[in-house]
Structure 1
């Protein structure tokens, strides 16, 4: 079988009965169900939510994004085989761990297929919750240029690239453009301090000031859970991004939950422990793919310079990456998923048809 056929490249054209236009992001597409279908599934499947909760089918793809572009490979490979199933499996595993530890629920109610979640509607907190255990990446580049304060936290002098930080650092940034918040620039992905969050908690979407501390605890304890388990496999959890939101539970109370994805190779850096002790960095995350792109093209500034976005989009559109690079990334995703979950990620021969069959036969959602 052609490997390209095993890739779930387009995920926004499924014949799912919906109430709203499909929302398609870089990797996931969201199908908001009709009110009737939401109510029916809540009752039929005994989902633990209020009967009027809006539901959605969330379908992940195998597309690979980096530097704000979608990349493709030779032989018609429009994504990375097994990537979507790996991301879902890893997130599912961590969400279950968090739930068992009594931290918080997630937005996921059901997993009909390895590429599909049924989720409840959540009101997102407008902060990307970023936690860092090592100084690397953008933080290291800023530190090299003399910055010592990050999100209101002062770092000491003399740190070296890729070394552990004195403590786990929480460095949140804005999710989207937030307007009218004193001291916070109106731009996406702007660093904010805990003081900013506490002063303007409503503008960031928090219910009250106490929930700012609760989100930090959920982030720190969730990070510790992932870090400890990865360490048992000699993997280092370097840094990650969590996202949070609010849902209304079956009793009508608002609850802060984990949402999006957690602890995956897309949202985190994961290093090989043995290599790190030898003084090497071996990435078991998408960061390795980014480095490959920087080395693959003769002018890496196109990928790093936001003033050259037109050239960057053309670079991604016009260049099919080597098939072995795409398959190496596939192996990275599937290996780390199996390491975390203990389950092998199988490649589907016809992923889209499998999803359609499942949602028709078991959920009556196909038109």
Structure 2
């Protein structure tokens, strides 16, 4: 299959276009005065807030369909932006005003949190962590470690106190975001357990429309979440072995091992065809494991024409 590096469509009634790290987003005004977003999940892959030079076949389809699965499964907790999924790589939904923070929820000491802890830090985003923790230990309770949401460059850690002090989000709304994030994490934890997985950490993004808070973007996908396999978690922890996990962390680890962490002056290492194929397979594995559904590849020699046609059908 031809991987989708980018899209450059021009649709009737289109009012805006934005290219994110992974998604291409098209805006449309509605006759009723509202706005819609058409969000295309490309096969671009990013790590350390840098878009890597080669796309990963089926990655966009995995992200789009995984996100849709969890958005539908959590709609009773908080309203979300999704209206319809007209194509394996496309979601259409409400255009909301995005809160400029991402709500990162962590249940275990892994990834960025562990790297900070290992470096000697015991306060992460204003949250004090206990002494004596090992990598991948379960935390006493899930914690929220928010980050600022950057359109370009790196997202940055920020504390609850700083968010409120700087007026980035009003306190009453921020409390609601915290409550939603923890409730979503609890649901995600339950759903992961049913699939033999542990939801380690994840991030949520929220927006506002007509005074209502909505969950937006992706939920519990491999780009936004980290999962461990439950059956080997305790044994690997006891033996101080790496956890078997489903996440994008393996891509970050490969980059680190090859001298790249997104810092100035560093160059992304070459990505071989074999390595790209491995990444694709890992993404498909995550979809099937997390959702319990069989992944049906959108076999199409011309995916851009397919996407264009399906979006136009939806817009008309």
Task: State the TM-score, normalized to the length of structure 1.
Answer: 0.78
Structure 1, gaps ≥5 residues long: 40-50, 73-77, 178-186, 249-253
What are the within-5 Å matches in structure 2 for residues 28-47 of structure 1?
28-33=23-28, 35=29, 38-39=30-31
Distance in 2 separating the partners of 1:20 and 1:175:
23
SS of match in other structure, 1:165? strand
CA shift, 1:143, in A, is 1.6
Encode CA deviations 1:237-277: one digit per residue, 9 max, x unaligned: 111111111012xxxxx111111111110011112223323
TM-score by length of 2: 0.90
- 1:91 equivalent in alignment to 2:67: yes
Alpha-carbon deviation of 1:18? Answer: 4.6
CA deviation profile, 1:60-110 (whole Å, cap 9, x unmatched):
1011112333335xxxxx4212111111111111111211xx321111222
Tell me the equivalent position of 2:5: 9
Q: Measure how far apart 1:176 and its partner are.
A: 3.1
**Could you tell me whether the CA contact under 8 Å between 1:82 and 1:346 is conserved in 2?**
no
Match of 2:219 in 1: 262
> In the alignment, what sits opposite 1:355?
307
Shift of residue 212 of structure 1? 1.5
Q: Secondary structure at the match of 1:160?
A: coil
- Aligned partner of 1:61 in structure 2 is 42
Give the aligned partner of residue 95 of structure 2. 121
Deviation at 1:52, TM superposition (A): 0.6
Query: What is the number of residues matched between the two proteins?
Result: 308
Regions of 4+ moved over 6 Å: none
Report deviation, 1:284.
1.0
Determine if the alignment matches structure 1 residue 79 to structure 2 residue 55: yes
What's the secondary structure of 2:141's corresponding residue? strand
SS at match of 2:315: coil
2:198 corresponds, among 208, 220, 236, to 236
Q: Which has the higher helix share?
A: 1
Give 1:210 shift.
Answer: 1.8
Q: Distance in 2 between matches of 1:71 and 1:197?
A: 31
Q: Report how far residue 21 of structure 1 moved.
A: 4.6
What is the deviation of 1:362? 4.5
- RMSD of the alignment, in Å? 2.1
Q: Which has the larger share of strand?
A: 2
1 CA distance for matches of 2:315 and 2:155?
A: 38
SS of the equivalent of 1:278 reads helix
Structure 2 spans left out of the alignment, 5+ residues: 237-241
Q: Give the Cα separation in 2 of the matches to 1:95 and 1:168.
A: 21
